[in-house]
């Protein structure tokens, strides 16, 4: 059982919705594992007031050349689609690590046994953190300067699924912003996609993209409108209707939410009116997953 929280563009409050939903679901008695797959800028742990723990490196294959064996035939450079191998005039190959995707095509095509050796580089880390709210948070974090986030999303999601299998319950995934392939990978396998947006022209444009993705992946899709009093929710509703989605929550701009964000304390546990929005959303998710919708 998997639910994904996503958003067409960054800064819409996706992580605020995801973390508050996680805490609310858990407080309703739903066992959950949360996965922060926004690997370029994971921040769910900050919003949950937790310190990342149990760090493990995510390594990726990278060729190393044994120049005593290499015949300088250039085959490795020719096959590399990423142009990660450059050759000198005489054919001597050099690697530009940051461009390497780890596909091993160079290793496969090299005609000289042992000329390409096994190397690796650490592209990021995964973390498995016990939150103060009683559920596990799996986080993927890409190393600064690395550009390929897909391997990290794959490894972190696999880890989250293994923990979910062991512990039972539901997997709540917080994806990156946008509609790229890492977002699709994070969403894959979900029963429900919750798209968080705001009623600004850019927000509405990007909502359409995420709703298109939801439709393409044949997912039940809901929309949460954040800072709903700062624009025209009617326009979001029009787009949502076009894709068979429904607005399930509207969150007005709130100082209380900003304060909770800064202090790392989910607002859903506070005695303020905004908390009810997240509790209601959690109840709706529970009803949906239980077959109530
Ligand atoms: S592993 Fe793939 S991307 Fe990396 S250098 Fe070899 S062919 Fe290029
Ligand atoms: S394919 Fe192998 S032998 Fe040829 S240049 Fe590359 S490493 Fe050297």
- Give the integer Cα–Cα distance in Å for 64 and 87: 14
- Give the integer Cα–Cα distance in Å for 202 and 221: 20
Residue 293, pLDDT > 60, answer no
Do 191 and 264 lie in a common domain? yes
Do 32 and 164 lie in a common domain? yes
User: How many angstroms is it from 67 CA to the middle of ligand 1?
Assistant: 17
Do 37 and 158 lie in a common domain? yes
Total tally of structural domains belonging to the chain:
2
User: How many angstroms is it from 99 CA to the middle of ligand 1?
Assistant: 8
Do 140 and 178 lie in a common domain? yes
Angle at 143 between CA 137 and CA 149, to 5 degrees: 75
Average pLDDT over residues 176-198: 89
Average pLDDT over residues 92-120: 95
- Give the integer Cα–Cα distance in Å for 207 and 193: 12
Q: Which helix (H) or strand (E) holds 283?
A: helix 273-289
Do 47 and 82 lie in a common domain? no
pTM of the predicted model as reported, rounded to 2 decimal places: 0.88
Do 104 and 135 lie in a common domain? no
- Give the integer Cα–Cα distance in Å for 163 and 130: 12
Residues 6+ apart with CB under 8 A from 89: none
Binding-site residues, ligand 2, Cβ < 6 A: 65, 70-76, 91, 93, 110, 112, 115-116
Asked if residue 119 belongs to a domain, the reply is no
Closest-CA residue, ligand 1 atom 6, reads 106
Q: Say yes or no: CB of residue 231 within 6 Å of ligand 1.
A: no
User: Domain residues for 97?
Assistant: 67-114
Do 86 and 48 lie in a common domain? no
Q: Say yes or no: CB of residue 93 within 6 Å of ligand 1.
A: no
Do 187 and 89 lie in a common domain? no
Residue 173, pLDDT > 90, answer yes
Do 83 and 143 lie in a common domain? no
Do 148 and 253 lie in a common domain? yes
Residue-level pLDDT at 292: 45
* Residue 9, domain CATH: 3.40.50.300
Residue 216, pLDDT > 70, answer yes
| Confidence label for 44 from pLDDT (cuts 50, 70 and 90) | very high
Residue-level pLDDT at 9: 67
Q: Say yes or no: CB of residue 101 within 6 Å of ligand 1.
A: yes
Ligand nearest to the CA of 98: 1
Q: How many residues does the chain have?
A: 293
Do 148 and 237 lie in a common domain? yes
Q: Say yes or no: CB of residue 110 within 6 Å of ligand 1.
A: no
Q: Say yes or no: CB of residue 105 within 6 Å of ligand 1.
A: yes
The average confidence (pLDDT) of the chain is 90
Asked if residue 76 belongs to a domain, the reply is yes
* Residue 80, domain CATH: 3.30.70.20
Average pLDDT over residues 103-126: 96
Asked if residue 77 belongs to a domain, the reply is yes
Do 13 and 46 lie in a common domain? yes
């Amino acid at each position: 059982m998997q639910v994904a929280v996503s958003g067409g563009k960054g800064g819409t409050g996706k992580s605020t919705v995801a973390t508050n939903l996680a805490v609310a679901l858990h407080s309703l008695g739903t066992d959950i594992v949360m996965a922060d797959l926004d690997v370029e800028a994971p921040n769910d742990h900050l919003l949950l007031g937790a310190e990342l723990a149990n760090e493990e490196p995510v390594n990726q294959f990278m060729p190393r050349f044994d120049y005593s064996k290499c015949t300088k035939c250039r085959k490795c450079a020719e096959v590399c689609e990423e142009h990660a191998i450059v050759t000198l005039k005489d054919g001597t190959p050099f690697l530009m690590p940051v461009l390497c995707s780890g596909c091993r095509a160079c290793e496969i095509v090299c005609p000289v046994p042992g000329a390409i050796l096994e190397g690796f580089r650490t592209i990021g880390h995964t973390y498995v953190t016990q939150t103060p709210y009683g559920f596990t948070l799996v986080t993927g974090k890409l190393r600064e300067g690395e550009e390929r986030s897909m391997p990290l999303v794959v490894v972190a999601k696999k880890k989250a699924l293994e923990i979910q299998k062991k512990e039972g319950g539901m997997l709540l995934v917080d994806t990156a912003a946008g509609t790229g392939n890492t977002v699709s990978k994070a969403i894959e396998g979900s029963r429900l996609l919750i798209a968080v947006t705001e009623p600004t022209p850019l927000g509405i444009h990007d909502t359409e993209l995420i709703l298109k993705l939801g439709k393409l992946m044949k997912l039940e899709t809901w929309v949460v409108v954040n800072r709903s009093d700062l624009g025209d929710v009617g326009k979001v509703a029009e787009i949502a209707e076009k894709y068979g989605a429904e607005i399930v929550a509207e969150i007005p701009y709130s100082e209380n939410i900003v304060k909770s964000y800064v202090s790392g304390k989910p607002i859903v546990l506070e005695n303020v009116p905004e908390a009810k929005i997240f509790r209601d959303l959690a109840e709706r998710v529970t009803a949906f997953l239980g077959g109530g919708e």
